[in-house]
Structure 1
Amino acid sequence: MSQVDLLIRGGRIVSPDQIIEASVAIDGGRIVAVGHDDMMPSARETLQADGLYLLPGAIDSHVHFRDPGYPNKETWKSGSAAAACGGVTTVFEMPNTNPATGTVEALRIKQKAAESSYVDYGIHGLLGDDTIDRLEELLDAGVTSFKAFVGNTFGNLPAPTDGALLEGFEKLAPLGIRTVVHAENSSIMARRQQRMEEAGRIDAMAHLASRPAVCEIEAIGRVLTLAEWTGARVHIAHHSSRDSLFLLRDAKRRGVDVTVETCPQYLLLNIGDMTRLGGILRLNPPIREAHHNQPLWDALVEGVIDMIATDHAPHTPEEKSRPNIWQCDCGFPGVETQMPLMLTEINRGRASLMDYVRWSSVNPAKAWGLYGTKGVIAAGAHADIAIVDLAREGVLSEGKLHSVSKISPWNGRVVKGYPLHTLVRGRFVMRDGRLVEEAAGWGQSVKGVQRMPASRPRNVESYTSNILETPAGVPPTAAPSREAT
């Protein structure tokens, strides 16, 4: 083998199954060899990683970079810089921007904004009543996946009707495309909020009271029913409650293709923190009671919850600090703090580093059709690597965040375990804990390497597209099984 671009020597490479000491050779943006140092080729540059761990770069399925429409909250450049400094090498960005990513024209605006990204990215298109006829067009134009806001959140995009959700799943099931779902019952939440506002409830705990766990239970059950009927792939965003885990566990046992994410805030925070921090902690779904925390950890270990995401949702400090909880924007930045928060828990023995790699990289890569190219440190894969010092201690500071949003519930939290270097396709985007500013624009869409597994549509004879084509007076053919023929 001729001389390569970079050789990382002396590190410990982490996979879901093992940790091995090996060197990694990188050339042309890809890993070309992993093995004993004596077997490695010469390199134009060498990084000595003694005592450090090499993790596949984190893949965050859920970020809001607010661009276009809200540059006062975030931009692609600032949000992706935060990702790079958090050991995150790929993000999937949400469609509730302005304009919402529900037309090709809006998508083109977002793709232009994404040209400043430090990290690779996917773009979730909007699944709503008025976008159903444009789903294939959006896919052809570059979206990787879709998002349905079944529960109300920032941007006030109307929740899709159940009919539109079913028809959207019918269109996407044969294509094998996964849809992210914000699963809360909008009708319950709207009525409860109105009732509390009329009663003068503007305190922080009113937000939780307006979005009880039954909202999540009902919406997840509804989404799973439609997904199972159609054979569509779905992804439950920001899972927050222990009470709906049984639905997910049972659906997975039946073979429903559902993946699930939770976030550090639901694992580590509860209403005690809400009382202390007020509007800073207003987000959707809400921070819940302490009895939800451990069951979510248990569900991660069990595999009912597949992955860690952040729901990185920045706002300005002024938008988060209003005395009336209903006037505080929902969400806070998280893409830069996820890895040190989770590594701290790994250091405490709550799970293994191998578990963390499964949750932060391997399972997201599999869910979005990227595994093999991303999510693994192996020959042929993209050289997306977070090089981590598990022993490094520090204190998280909102003032040091690379996000435009300088307000965080994690401010002042002591952590142990940091990413020191982040590589995206072989290029340093963070080095020695500092952003490599000239790497802005290095990120690219993952659309070109995305390969979803074969689809398994079901009950195709009942799809809207088929019943519209059935001649008058002729019933649709009843298939002997629920599998597509």
Structure 2
Amino acid sequence: MPDTDTLADLLIAGGTVVNETTRFPADVAMKDGVICFVGHPAFAPRAKETLDAKGKLVIPGAIDVHTHIREPGMTHKEDWTTGTRAAAAGGVTTVFDMPNTEPAVSSPEILAAKREAAERQAIVNYGLYGILDERSLDHLEGLAAAGVIGFKLFLGNTTGNNPAPNDGAVLEGFEILAGLGLRCSIHAENSPILFWRENRMKAAGRDDAFAHLAARADVAALESLSRSIVLSEWTGARIHIVHESCMRSIPVIRDAKARGVPMTVETCPQYVLLAAEDLTGDAGRIARLNPPIREGRQREPILQALLDGTIDILGTDHAPHAMEEKQRPSFWDNACGFPGVETSMRLMLTLVHEGRMTMEQYVRMASAAPARAFGLWPRKGVVQPGADGDIAVVDPAQRHVIRGAELHSIRSPFTPFEGMATVGGPVATIVRGRVVMRDGKVLDAPGWGRMERPQMPKPEPRNLATTTRAILRPGAQPW
């Protein structure tokens, strides 16, 4: 018999729960932000509010480990209000914000200012990255204590004017992070190669749709990936390679994982759905990002690596800009990046509809794997009692056409997926038991989002006798 003494806050009734390894019909109830019941409707508790999910799928909310909310310093592109409304519209219940804001998150004081802005505005949960560079080395422990979700290392240039640090500083940073146990997300492109080739091409008069791709040939990513793996394997630092776009990286990743390198990898919808040869003119300007969208023949190998788990995570690299920053005459002058957090789930559910992946695979890459990689599992990434009430209710048959003008990233009303028809999408987004989006309408809930702190496994640092700190001691011996 149902427990009539328990009054849940929300009951999702009549749906089919889908986790990464299974699916089953069940009602789901939440109380005080936590799932308190998953089971047969006859045993479901009474609730203050009921959401009818008949014919729908009930999945753990997506965790986007790679977003650029742009606040502080660049709110003409995005802020915590517009960015988290876009997330809610897209079935995303947690976003991780990159540290290349202005100022970059290089100290606990700067982190506190960013957190204050998020606490006032965010309607979905969030994690905050600290930056790993030469100025932050003395602040890594303080940032960790303040609750960063992890750290970000830019080995390739990007928005925010954060130069790639010296390799010696990277090694020292990895040595510190290995002892802390937090994961370091890495933009793995070789900056000296990129700048050299770009400057050579500008001098030669190259200013065409494919110049950006030519400057960032696969070798720049392969070199940086390999260097990151070597330093991770030596120090024991946990790393995460962001926005993987190269099919030639796949065997390198497989080999490193087989050796036990503590790494995870992400890719994004643009790298499995778009092709460089189709992106010219205005489409090329809109789709310009780092690393670039590559030749169409690279899409299927990246997708297959995502499906088989070689690539662990689906992120977005959500990177909004003001519209005028994407419409400059020279391709070199156009800002890199575009909104993605709102469209990702629709795009990938279309692949589910087409039979190219299963719903269970989508849940693994978009929710369960991110939760495990960043110390949020099993509190997030799964629909089960005791987990946070972060859920997306999905209509697998919903048809939609993506339009930039309709995006909730209202200062960035553009997308390279303009006009693309999708099948399947979120009809409700629930954050810690509260409905923040229903039937496409994002509800007002400023400040409801919570900062998420990681609980990582015990650190496993290596080669401690040769760390930078160790050799600074008088008389230290490297053994």
Q: Distance in 2 between matches of 1:39 and 1:273?
A: 54
Q: Which residue number in structure 2 is paired with residue 431 of structure 1?
A: 438
Shift in Å, 1:351: 0.6
Q: Which residue number in structure 2 is paired with residue 481 of structure 1?
A: none
> 1:51-89 deviations in whole A, cap 9, x for unaligned?
000110000000000000111100011000000000000
Shift in Å, 1:272: 2.4
Q: Distance in 2 between matches of 1:406 and 1:301?
A: 31
Q: Distance in 2 between matches of 1:45 and 1:196?
A: 60
Q: Which of these residues, 182, 204, 207, is aligned with residue 199 of structure 1?
A: 204
Q: Distance in 2 between matches of 1:288 and 1:54?
A: 34
Q: Distance in 1 between matches of 2:381 and 2:72?
A: 29
Q: Which residue number in structure 1 is paired with residue 357 of structure 2?
A: 351
Q: Which residue number in structure 1 is paired with residue 103 of structure 2?
A: 99
Matched position secondary structure for 1:47: strand
Q: How do residues 311-330 of structure 1 correspond to structure 2 at under 5 angstroms?
A: 311-330=317-336
Q: Which residue number in structure 2 is paired with residue 451 of structure 1?
A: 455
Q: Which residue number in structure 2 is paired with residue 482 of structure 1?
A: none
Q: Which residue number in structure 2 is paired with residue 69 of structure 1?
A: 73
Moved more, 390-399 or 459-468: 459-468
1:247 aligns with 2:252: yes
Q: Which residue number in structure 1 is paired with residue 125 of structure 2?
A: 120
Q: Which residue number in structure 1 is paired with residue 94 of structure 2?
A: 90
Matched position secondary structure for 2:279: helix
CA contact (8 A) 1:63 1:313 kept: yes
Q: Which residue number in structure 2 is paired with residue 140 of structure 1?
A: 145
Shift in Å, 1:3: 1.4
Shift in Å, 1:104: 2.1
Q: Which residue number in structure 1 is paired with residue 291 of structure 2?
A: 285
> 1:443-474 deviations in whole A, cap 9, x for unaligned?
01002xx21011211111111111112x33x5
CA contact (8 A) 2:403 2:414 kept: no
What code does the residue aligned with 1:145 have? G
Q: Which of these residues, 169, 191, 195, is aligned with residue 186 of structure 1?
A: 191
Q: Distance in 1 between matches of 2:14 and 2:278?
A: 41
Q: How do residues 2-401 of structure 1 correspond to structure 2 at under 5 angstroms?
A: 2-115=6-119, 116-275=121-280, 277-401=283-407
CA contact (8 A) 1:119 1:443 kept: yes
> 1:199-246 deviations in whole A, cap 9, x for unaligned?
111112100000000001000000000000001100000000001111
Q: Distance in 2 between matches of 1:140 and 1:457?
A: 18
Shift in Å, 1:275: 2.1
What code does the residue aligned with 2:236 have? G
What code does the residue aligned with 2:315 have? A
CA contact (8 A) 2:141 2:180 kept: no
1:475 aligns with 2:441: no
> 1:157-201 deviations in whole A, cap 9, x for unaligned?
010111111111100112111000000000110000001111111
Matched position secondary structure for 1:173: helix
Shift in Å, 1:142: 2.8
> 1:335-389 deviations in whole A, cap 9, x for unaligned?
0000000000110000100000000000000011001111010000000000000
Shift in Å, 1:4: 1.2
CA contact (8 A) 1:316 1:407 kept: no
Q: Distance in 2 between matches of 1:142 and 1:177?
A: 10
Shift in Å, 1:25: 1.2
Q: Distance in 2 between matches of 1:314 and 1:304?
A: 28
CA contact (8 A) 2:150 2:183 kept: yes
Q: Distance in 2 between matches of 1:272 and 1:190?
A: 23
Q: Distance in 2 between matches of 1:378 and 1:55?
A: 10
What code does the residue aligned with 1:465 have? R
Could you tell me which runs of 5 or more consecutive residues in structure 2 were left unpaired when the two chains were aligned: none
Q: Which of these residues, 428, 436, 442, is aligned with residue 421 of structure 1?
A: 428
Matched position secondary structure for 1:240: coil
Shift in Å, 1:44: 1.6
Deviating beyond 4 angstroms after TM superposition, the runs of 4 or more aligned structure 1 residues are none
Q: Distance in 2 between matches of 1:399 and 1:291?
A: 30
**Once the two structures are aligned, what percentage of the paired residues are identical?**
51
Q: Distance in 2 between matches of 1:457 and 1:63?
A: 28
Q: Distance in 2 between matches of 1:231 and 1:255?
A: 10
Matched position secondary structure for 1:44: strand
Q: Distance in 2 between matches of 1:281 and 1:46?
A: 41
Q: Distance in 1 between matches of 2:227 and 2:303?
A: 24
Shift in Å, 1:105: 2.4
Q: Distance in 2 between matches of 1:158 and 1:138?
A: 20
What code does the residue aligned with 2:432 have? R
What code does the residue aligned with 1:414 have? A
Q: Distance in 2 between matches of 1:205 and 1:171?
A: 40
Q: Which residue number in structure 2 is paired with residue 406 of structure 1?
A: 413
Q: Aligned residue pairs: how many?
A: 472
Shift in Å, 1:432: 1.8
What code does the residue aligned with 1:20 have? F
Q: Distance in 1 between matches of 2:105 and 2:180?
A: 20
Moved more, 380-389 or 273-282: 273-282
Q: Distance in 2 between matches of 1:278 and 1:260?
A: 26
Matched position secondary structure for 2:271: helix
> 1:92-146 deviations in whole A, cap 9, x for unaligned?
0001110111122221221111121011011110100111111001112232210
